[in-house]
Amino acid sequence: MDVKDSNGTLLNEGDSVTVIKDLKVKGSSSVIKRGTVVKNIRLTGDAKEIEGKVEKTVMVLKTEFLKKQ
């Protein structure tokens, strides 16, 4: 299963990615700002999602809003 970012670049465990669009957090009033760096990502069972720590919270992010560093 190939996991790719918004530009089609292959993502691997431990990569760092940048958020390319302000994202609202479900169930919260907070927003992940564009340009936020998510380091040391983990791949999930879904090719369109990754897990990463954002502000000390582990979140699942859609790869269509991410760019590999």
The answer to whether the beta carbons of residues 14 and 41 sit under 8 Å apart is: yes
The whole-model pTM stands at: 0.89
Per-residue CA distances from 6 to 19, 29, 30, 63, 64 (Å)? 10, 25, 23, 6, 5
Domain of 25, in residue numbers: 17-68
pLDDT of residue 28: 87
Assess contact for 46 and 69: CB atoms under 8 A: no
Residue 1 belongs to a domain: no
Whether 61 maps to a domain, the answer reads: yes
Provide the CATH number for the domain around residue 42.
Answer: 2.30.30.40
Walk along the chain (69 residues) and give the pLDDT tens digit of each residue.
799 999 999 999 999 999 999 999 988 899 999 999 999 999 999 999 999 999 889 999 999 999 999
Is 11 within the bounds of a domain?
no
Pairing of strands 66-68, 17-19: antiparallel
Q: State how far the Cα of 33 lies from the Cα of 20, in Å rounded to an integer.
A: 8
First-last CA distance in the chain: 21
pLDDT the model gives residue 53 = 94
Q: Count how many domains the chain has.
A: 1
